């Protein structure tokens, strides 16, 4: 149950997706997350269905990464509080 709650919270973290298409890019699609916006850099010729699937994959990766970071921070806090006692 707690994991489901965190997933819902993670979805709120990626609020906006900006797609930047360029003719100079040939094959690769990349993404970066800044605050609550995911920037996706894609070639101009990529179809919308293919791009939609790839964006979904990027969202899953970023959510997983954010969840790991959150768990690591909580573990560090637990270690610090246990060491302080």
CB 40 within 8 A of CB 56: no
Q: What is the pLDDT of residues 30-78, one digit of tens each?
A: 999 988 899 999 999 999 999 999 999 999 999 898 888 888 888 777 7
pTM score: 0.66
Strand partners, 36: none
Sequence-distant (6+) residues with CB within 8 A of 31 are 38, 39, 40, 41, 55, 58, 62
């Amino acid at each position: 149950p707690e994991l489901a709650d965190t997933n819902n919270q993670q979805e709120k973290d990626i609020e906006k997706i900006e797609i930047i298409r360029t003719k100079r890019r040939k094959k690769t699609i990349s993404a970066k997350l800044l605050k609550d916006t995911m920037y996706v850099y894609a070639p101009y010729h990529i179809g919308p269905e293919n791009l939609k699937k790839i964006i979904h994959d990027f969202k899953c990766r970023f959510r997983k990464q954010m969840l790991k970071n959150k768990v690591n921070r909580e573990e560090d806090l637990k270690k610090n509080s246990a060491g302080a006692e």
